[in-house]
Amino acid sequence: MNNLNNKKILLIICGGIAAYKSLEIIRLLKKDGVSIKTILTKSGAEFVTPLSITSLSQSKVYQDLFSIEDEAEMDHISLSRWADLILIAPATANTISKLANGNSDDLASTVALASNKKIFITPAMNVRMWEHQSTKQNISKLKTYNYELIGPEIGDMACGEYGEGKMTEPKEIVNKLKIYFKNLKVKNKLKAIVTAGPTREYIDPVRYISNKSSGKQGFEIAKSLLKKGFETTLISGPTNLEINKNINLIKVETAEEMFQSTLKSLPADVAIFSAAVCDYKVKNTSKIKIKKQDEINLELEKNLDILDYVSNHNSLRPKLVVGFAAETNDLENYVNKKLSEKNCDWIVANDVSNKTIGFDSDFNEVSIFFKNKKIDRLKYKSKSEISEELVEKIINHLN
């Protein structure tokens, strides 16, 4: 199936030697049945001509923000609304800076800032420019604004240097756009539940048993699901984290509260149990603060296993159930046993004996265990990157 057929894409071409690749992008998109409108910046026109773009796109090239003719035909707001998606290729350091800081002094930046559509940027610049702190800060800003990054790649550059900053090849860019539209079809109206953070089991009104969990990985997974269009519910134990207002956040404390909130949030297409739920609770919680003593004996009893309950409940079970496991030793044996006993589809596991990943860290290194004994290992990277890869796998599975 061609996911690009009859799509409308606005291509913004900025200055830089990589601008010549934009012509190949146009050719590939037209071959897939895409309607293309193009904005060529002043610096972009130094590298490719409006005539060459028009001959390939079979459409007019827009250049001047203050052109009376262009505004009469299609004003900059209408141009931003016309497209299903906006692609900026190549995206220079200057354009990235403009968008990150809200500047709109030309047609390209004005349309991008006025747009309500998904925007993909494909950076292309010298390696030193890409590695400069200001560029890194601007890219970080754009990611928070929901811009999607394609590349850059590592390789030889036109300036003779070698490193990261090379524009991604046109075929790969077009493939990324195909995946985006493919995912749109799958994720539309799909519902996901994520549990995150620790739970607390009270000894008395001021003391409790808990687990060492910041909730960061679960929160990032919820963000990635929302970003991919899932209707997302996040059931979180006590954390200090903030979440997008479009995510349905349910705050809980105890394992029982998390269990009840999970039941109320079902049915769902996907359930991801990343919370560090206390395995045990105090059998007889004191209603008043227990005074300091030389010794205290606590009688504990097992909490209900939320993952096990949902995985084995025929009428409530989501299409995909993903559990989490944090181990300090013999990880594969414990995880395979858990995968079998809990009847879940996948388990995401990590070795928390490594203090630089997992609890409280912004980074993680995990392995995804599947029922068919296959294992995908996601090497050391940020929890947001781990989440994006996991959600991509979820979408492919649902396909």
Catalytic residue among 14, 159, 278, 344: 159
pLDDT-derived band at 229 (thresholds 50, 70, 90) equals confident
| Same-domain pairing of 112 and 161 | yes
Tell me the average pLDDT of the chain. Answer: 90
| Same-domain pairing of 125 and 261 | no
**Spatial separation of the C-alpha atoms in residues 352 and 334, rounded to whole Å:** 14
Domain that holds residue 142: 8-185
| Same-domain pairing of 290 and 370 | yes
| Same-domain pairing of 253 and 332 | yes
CATH number of the structural domain spanning residue 92: 3.40.50.1950
Q: Quick check: 232 and 222 in contact, CB under 8 A? A: yes
In a domain, 2, yes or no: no
pLDDT-derived band at 73 (thresholds 50, 70, 90) equals low
| pLDDT tens digits for range 49-70 | 999 999 999 998 998 766 656 6
CATH number of the structural domain spanning residue 309: 3.40.50.10300
**Spatial separation of the C-alpha atoms in residues 188 and 162, rounded to whole Å:** 41
Write down the number of H helices and E strands in the chain.
Answer: 14, 20
Overall pTM surpassing 0.75 (yes/no): no
Q: What is the pLDDT of residue 313?
A: 85
| Same-domain pairing of 259 and 332 | yes
| Same-domain pairing of 255 and 165 | no
| Same-domain pairing of 292 and 369 | yes
| Same-domain pairing of 196 and 331 | yes
| Same-domain pairing of 256 and 378 | yes
Q: What is the pLDDT of residue 68?
A: 59
| pLDDT tens digits for range 164-175 | 889 999 999 999
Q: Of 185, 204, 238, which residue sits at a domain end? A: 185
Q: For the residues of 191-217, what is the DSSP string, one character each?
A: EEEEEESB-EEESSSS-EEE-----HH
| pLDDT tens digits for range 207-227 | 999 988 899 999 999 999 998
Q: Calculate helix-pair angle for 170-187, 21-31, nearest 10 degrees.
A: 40
Q: Is the pLDDT of residue 31 over 90?
A: yes
14 is catalytic: no
| Same-domain pairing of 157 and 215 | no
